[in-house]
Chain A
Amino acid sequence: MSETRTGGCQCGQVRYELTGEPLRLIACHCSECQRQSGSAFGMSMIVKKEDLKITGATKSYTRTADSGNQNTGVFCPECGVRIHNTPHYIDGVVTLKPGTLDDTSWLRPTAMVWLKSAQGWVPVPDGMKALDGQP
């Protein structure tokens, strides 16, 4: 039995519990992740849909990527903080925004992706997989 991890948005209106181990964690420098985060890169923690239990009101927004794939972003309507994205092209998983976890000290991404659109000032850690484009 793995531990239960908690998180939520900035204003506290949305809270969640994550049970089960995450499947994967990546840091993504694509322009959509830069806009979503407002920062240098976004992070995506791929978790099983049934492992994420959300309480509070959420709002969602769906975009179609250049590839034609659709992705729905789920956020707190009160403070705007993105909680997760739901890719329509993979069944059974969501990509949690792990900066919203209450404890982020254990996070270790295994890859940095879309480096061709990176701002260019963030060092790639030694030993981390680095990809110019999509994983």
Chain B
Amino acid sequence: MPAPYSGGCQCGQVRYEITAEPLKLTACHCRECQKQSGSAFGMGLWIASGDLRVRGRLKSYTRTADSGKPMTGVFCPECGVRLYHIPSYDQDIYLLKPGTLDDTKGLRPTRMVWTRRKQPWVVIPDDIEILD
């Protein structure tokens, strides 16, 4: 299905549209992504920042990544759902949390990163690039 793609947080206070095709999709097993998701791994859908239209109130939180560079997480203040990350290393890119899309059926990450931090029970798909 072509763009636009719609999505939002759990409570519905924040809604968004992605107006053009995403650039890539990764799954990340780092400890920060496990905490963010509360689950086994996080996902990042790379999009051009100009392609995201957001409605609703947002709150943000900035942490320093292991690299020493800041990473900002943007979330809904009413339900806490994380919507996207703004990496400081590329101002033109947002890493959208794709589980928040209304239709997630077509999602296929091409790369899994930080697999050395992986919860041991998670099975890695055959056709995915791995970076530990």
Contacts and interface: CB of A to CB of B under 8 A. Distances in A.
Chain A: interface secondary structure?
loop
Interface string A2-35: 0000001111000000000000000100011111
Interface stretch (B16-24, B27-35, B48-56): B27-35
A63 B39 CA distance: 20
A27 B123 CA distance: 13
Contacts, number: 158
B76 interface: yes
Q: Bin the interface of chain B by size.
A: 35 or more
Contacts of B33: 39
A10 B40 contact: no
Chain B: interface secondary structure?
loop
B10 A119 contact: no
Q: Bin the interface of chain A by size.
A: 35 or more
B35 A105 contact: no
Interface of B: 8-11, 27, 31-43, 59, 61, 63, 73, 75-83, 97-100, 104-105, 107-109, 119-125
Interface of A: 8-11, 27, 31-43, 59, 61, 63, 73, 75-83, 97-100, 104-105, 107-109, 119-126, 128
